[in-house]
Chain A
Amino acid sequence: MQKSPIKYVFLLPAVLWVLAFTIFPLIYSLRISFYNIRLGRNVSAIWVGLHNFARVFTDSRVQESVVVTLVLLVTTVTAQLVLGIALAVLFNRHLPGRSLLRTLMTTPLFATPVAVGLLFLTIYYEEGGFINSILPWKIPWISHPQWALVGVGLVEIWQWTPFCFLVFLAALQSLPDELYEAARLDTSSGWRVFRSLTLPMLQPVVILVLLLRLTEGLKVFDIPWGLTGGGPGTATQTYSMFTYRAGFRHFDFGYSSALGYVMLIAEMIVITFFFKRMRQVYE
Chain B
Amino acid sequence: MRHVLRLLSVLAVLALGLAPAQETYVTFNADGSITIRLLTDDETVTFAPGELGNLVGPGLQPYAGKTITVTTNSGGVMGGISGPIYQVRPAWEELTGAKLNIVEIPLGEAFPQVFADLQLGTGQFDGFIVGADWYGDLVEGDFVVPVDTYFDNPGFPTWDRSGFPPSLQTLYTWGGRWYGTLNDSDGQVLYYRRDILTDPAIQAEYQAATGRALVVPPPTWDDVLSIARFLNGRDLNGDGEGDSGVVLHLKVNAQGLFHFISLAVPFVVTRPNQPFWFDPDTMDPIINSPGHVRALEFLIELSQYGPAAQVGWDLGEGWDYFLRGRAAFVFSWGDVGSLVQIPERSDIKGKLGASILPGVREVYDTASGQFVAVDPPNVVGNTTGGSWHGMISVLTPNPDVVYHLWATQATRSFSLWNVRQGWTGVDPGMAWHFVPPYGNASLEAYLSQGWNADDIVEYHRAYRDNYFAPLNLSFLRIPGAFEYRQSLDQNLSKAESGQLTPQEALDLTFAQWQETTDRLGRDRQRAIYRASLGLE
Contact = CB atoms under 8 A, between A and B. Distances in A.
A250 interface: yes
A235 interface: yes
A234 B490 contact: yes
B257 to A, nearest CB: 12
Interface in A28-65: 36, 38-41, 43, 60-61
Interface residues of A, number: 34
Contact of A143 (B108, B109, B254, B312): B312
Interface in A227-253: 228-235, 237, 245, 248-252
B204 interface: no
A259 to B, nearest CB: 15
B144 to A, nearest CB: 12
Interface stretch (B46-54, B89-97, B223-231, B302-310): B302-310
Most chain B CB atoms below 10 A, which of A36, A60, A61, A229: A229
Given A38-B520, A233-B497, A144 B311 contact: yes
Contacts of A125: 309, 317
B493 interface: yes
B6 interface: no
Summarize B's interface: helix, strand, loop or mixed. helix
Summarize A's interface: helix, strand, loop or mixed. loop
A127 interface: yes
A249 B112 contact: yes
Contacts of A148: 312
Chain B interface size range: 35 or more
A242 B112 CA distance: 15
Nearest to A128: B241
A234 B483 contact: no
A145 interface: yes
Given A40-B137, A235-B497, A250 B312 contact: no
B38 to A, nearest CB: 29
B113 to A, nearest CB: 9
A43 B493 CA distance: 33
B519 interface: yes
A206 interface: no
A126 B307 contact: yes
A145 B309 contact: no
B432 interface: no
Interface in A58-117: 60-61
Given A229-B253, A231-B251, A250 B482 contact: yes
B411 to A, nearest CB: 33
A243 B251 CA distance: 21
A143 B115 contact: no
Interface in B306-324: 307-313, 317, 321
A38 B521 contact: yes
Contacts of A38: 519-521
Contacts, number: 117
B486 to A, nearest CB: 7
A142 interface: yes
B317 A40 contact: no
A143 B310 contact: yes
B497 to A, nearest CB: 4
Contacts of B499: 145, 232-233, 235
Nearest to A48: B519
Nearest to B516: A250
Nearest to A60: B508
B483 A249 contact: yes
Contact of B486 (A143, A235, A245): A245
Most chain A CB atoms below 10 A, which of B312, B479, B486, B508: B312
B253 A248 contact: no
A122 B317 CA distance: 10
A210 B181 CA distance: 56
A91 B115 CA distance: 53
A251 B493 contact: no
B496 interface: yes
A30 B153 CA distance: 52
Contact of A126 (B119, B142, B312, B486): B312
Contact of A252 (B508, B519, B521): B519
B309 A127 contact: yes
A37 to B, nearest CB: 10
A232 B520 contact: no
B183 to A, nearest CB: 24
Given A41-B141, A233-B499, A234-B494, A126 B309 contact: yes
B140 A41 contact: yes
Nearest to B108: A249
A140 interface: yes
Contacts of B483: 249-250, 252
18 contacts: A36-B519, A38-B519, A39-B119, A41-B140, A41-B141, A125-B309, A143-B310, A145-B497, A148-B312, A231-B490, A231-B493, A232-B312, A232-B493, A235-B494, A245-B486, A249-B108, A249-B112, A251-B112
Interface of A: 36, 38-41, 43, 60-61, 125-127, 138, 140-145, 148, 228-235, 237, 245, 248-252
Interface of B: 108-109, 112, 115-116, 119, 137, 140-142, 250-254, 307-313, 317, 321, 326, 479-480, 482-483, 486, 490-491, 493-500, 508, 516, 519-521, 524
Given A140-B312, A235-B497, 19 more contacts: A38-B521, A40-B137, A41-B142, A60-B508, A140-B308, A143-B308, A143-B309, A145-B497, A228-B312, A229-B252, A231-B497, A232-B251, A232-B496, A233-B497, A233-B500, A234-B494, A245-B486, A251-B119, A252-B519
